[in-house]
Structures are given as structure tokens and as C-alpha cells.
Chain A
Amino acid sequence: MDVINDNLWRVKVGLAEMLKGGVIMDVTTAEQAKIAEDAGACAVMALERVPSDIRKEGGVARMAAPRVIREIMDVVSIPVMAKVRIGHFAEAQVLEALEVDYIDESEVLTPADEEHHVWKHGFKVPFVCGARNLGEALRRIAEGAAMIRTKGEAGSGNIVEAVRHMRAIVGQMKKLTTLGQEELVHESKELGAPLDLVAWVAKHGKLPVPNFSAGGVATPADAALVMQLGAEAVFVGSGIFKSSDPAQRARAIVKATTHYKDPKVVLEASEELGEAMKGIDVRQLEEKDLLQTRGW
């Protein structure tokens, strides 16, 4: 992959490197952003409504209002990310003009294009995209995503889908490392991903960009779970500001993410927490209500 030696690509992936081991928190106001930063978030994600509200209220979910994003950028010193609709490159242009630090081309918002994603190499600002499996992850990287996150099922408070997606990506990568060159061509076809990226993963046993987890993290143990399964950092959406104790829960999830291999600390982090968000049994959701199936 020639692009790996390109300096712009290196600083895009470089910022993702700086976020490893940390927690990126969804926020809808400057006040929430400050709470997140004070709790130890390594970045915040600005959006109009958290996923569980999008799910409840319906309607079209769009990029957050630039005024709100700017207020958030003014109040915190950590990186500020913001979401755009899948394929909505004009929203992305607006966010680049606003100088956000990262753009999430997200299935949580209502897609603007049902065939194409944004050509992310065309932007100077880095992008993160969701994926459910290795093929999807590599297609997004081919388009220029400098960070991948599992999709999970946003706003569900249920970790099952993030686990499914992380296991799928990690398992498929493991498999690639056992294959011969001629088998990679077939695998590239099966995955629907470019051969050069498939060959890169086969050689290195990991994605060429950081691999984070998102979609359903609601407790410190959820964070420790996805980290042990191979996530390099954690996004928490509705899980914090839809709980009964946002600041405390945010702090607890940060602690569990740092010490994910140390059950005693995860226990400490889990104690004295109030109620987690209610959560949804994903099996009860109808196909049309799933967010993870958005993206192509």
C-alpha cells in the first residue's frame, strides 16, 4: 500500500494512535463535553442526538449544528470528532472547514447515499468508519478511513453486536495469516476488498489502521470485554449520558479501559455505580430498525 508512506496518511493514522487505550465519548452539548473531558475522555464525538434518542424519536438524523460543534471545540482541549451521514461529502466538507479533528462517517445518522461512501482520501481531515467484518473494514480503508471501529448496534446498550463484529474482524484476520498467495486472491473476492489490503493484513495479522470498538458499551466490564477481544480503544455513545450517573460512569469506563486486563481494577470501577442505561434485546429489533446494516 503506497499510501502508507504518504505524510498526510501518516498524520491521520498518527492521531488515531494517540487515542489508543482511551475512551471517546458521544456528547451533544458543550456542558457534556466538559464532563467527558474532566472524566478522562481522550476525545469527544459531537452529535445532534445520542443514538438511543435517534432510535426513539425517529426522523432524519443529520450532522450536528456547526454552532454546537464550535461551542464544544471551544470548551475542551482534547480532539473533537463529529459525525456525517454515509456518503454525504458536503457535510464532511463543512466539518473540514470547521476544522474538527476527526470525522465519523456513521451509520448512526440517516445515510445520504445508498451505494457510495465518501472518498476519504480526498480530505485532509482524517475519517473513522464503522465495520461489521473484515471486508467492510478494508473497503473503508481503501476509501481512506484512517481508523476503523466496530459498528455494534448503536443506542442499544447491548454489547452483543460489538462482540460479534470484533470477533468477526479478528477471526477473519487470523485466517488470512494462514493462507497462501493464490488463496488471497480468492479471499479478496469473497471479502469484496482490494487484494493489496488483503495481502497487507495477511502479512501483518492486523489492520493497517487502529481498530476501535463502538456500539453498545454501557458498563466498565463491557469496555474491558471489547478491549480483551482486540479493540485498541472504545467509543461510548448513549451509555454515558443516558445512565443515571454520567460523570461517575464516564470515569469508571476510562479506568476499566486503561486497566482492561486487571479484573480487580475493573471491579473497583464497577462498584458504586448507579443504573446503567436500560438497553434493548437486539433480537427484538426489526431489520428496518437496525443501524448496523447501513453501509455498503
Chain B
Amino acid sequence: MSEKIKIGILAIQGDYQAHSKMLDRLGVPWTYIRRPEDIDGIGGIILPGGESTTHIKVMREEGVWDALEQFAARGGAFFGTCAGAILLAREVHNPPQASLALLDVSILRNGYGRQLASDVHEGKTKLSDRPIEMVFIRAPIIESVGENVEVLAKDAAHPVLVQQGPILAATFHPELTNDPTVHRHFVEMVRLQGHQPAAAKSPERASSRATR
């Protein structure tokens, strides 16, 4: 467990500090990503909560978007929470918007409604025996998942934590709790990616791209 990996946290806007605190707890080095060159030497990328429209706008204009796509093409691992999950989804609704399309799911923004529908639930995941806290804030709903996507947790009828190869997404905010279960899982994913030969690392790219 001692090999050095460093996680990059997208820091355009949003709750990126909460993610860095969680990584501090796990003793994992991290850095903030604000410019394309910040991705050099990174083992995995966290896309935090915040406003996906803002993230897309800023990343597109400043070259970070292209850098993320190149990182994905090299088989890099991603973990998106809430807005981050929206950026990873193959297809985005309400309204349709651009995405990195790395995860074969369709996702509905503000799926539960506005802030008044924000809530904290407890739920079981496949990651541990104990239920974890799930903080939903203006959360999206994963409407459908492709067959290569593993559902690691559901809340009511909806998948809320899903994984496809090196891509992990939560519609809730594990970074706003005291439970590092999901982050620990992502760090393990990044370590595993690091062990695989480069040629075998390329993930299946999701088949079609969301509407621009």
C-alpha cells in the first residue's frame, strides 16, 4: 500500500475542499486541478459537487476539458459526485448538456426537484456491511444503466452509486459525511489501475455522446 499515488481534484468551483479533507484522512496525497498542466503525474481524478454548467463552461474555455478527455483515453480513473456524476454520464437530461460520456448511464439533473427535496438517507452499498450516510443535494437521478455498469448502491428504486471499470460515480456526497468508505474504494481503484499495463488500461468508451 505504500506506492505513491496522487489524486487530482477538479477545483473550478464546488465542494472540492471536502474531498481533499477526506483524502487527508486516508493519508492520500492530492492536488487541485484548475489548469490542464495540473493533471501531470495524477493517478486518478475526482470531479466534485457544484454546478455542472459552470464546470463545463470554465473547463471548455480553458483547456481542462481536453486534458480530462486525454486522461480518460489513457485509462485514467475518475470519481464523480453529484455534478461530477453528471459530467461522467453518457447522456444528460433536464436539460440535455455536454458530458465526458465515460459512464454508460443516462442521468436526470435535479431529479428529485429543487433544494427543498435535498435530504440525508442511509443505505447499504456493496462496499461494506454497514450502511453509509448519503447526503443528496439537488441531486440527479440515474435513469438507466448500461449492462457493463455495476450498481453498488440503490436508494429507493434508483442506482445512486455505480461503477464501470475505472469510472465511479455517486449521485450523493460521501465527502460531506465522516464515512470514508466510498473514497477508500476509489483509492483502491486507482491503485489497481496503476498496476495494469498501459495497453490493457483503455476502458470501453461509452458508445454515443450526449447532446451538446
Report A's interface with B, CB cutoff 8 A: 7, 10-11, 14-15, 17-22, 37-43, 73, 77-79, 96, 99-102, 124-126, 254-255, 257-259, 262
Contact = CB atoms under 8 A, between A and B. Distances in A.
Contacts of A124: 116
Interface stretch (B49-57, B66-74, B150-158, B190-198): B49-57
Contact of A126 (B16, B49, B113, B115): B115
B34 A259 contact: yes
Contact of B51 (A42, A99, A258): A42
B34 A258 contact: yes
B120 to A, nearest CB: 4
Contact of B13 (A15, A21, A77, A99): A21
Interface of B: 11-18, 34, 49-51, 53-54, 57-58, 62, 82-83, 94-95, 109-110, 113-116, 118-120, 135-138, 173, 176
A15 B50 CA distance: 8
A223 B113 CA distance: 31
Contact of A42 (B13, B115, B136): B13
B58 A14 contact: no
B50 to A, nearest CB: 5
Contacts of A20: 13-17, 50
A77 B137 contact: no
A226 to B, nearest CB: 15
A94 to B, nearest CB: 14
A100 B116 CA distance: 8
A19 B113 CA distance: 18
A262 B83 CA distance: 25
Contact of A102 (B11, B12, B51, B115): B115
A38 B137 CA distance: 22
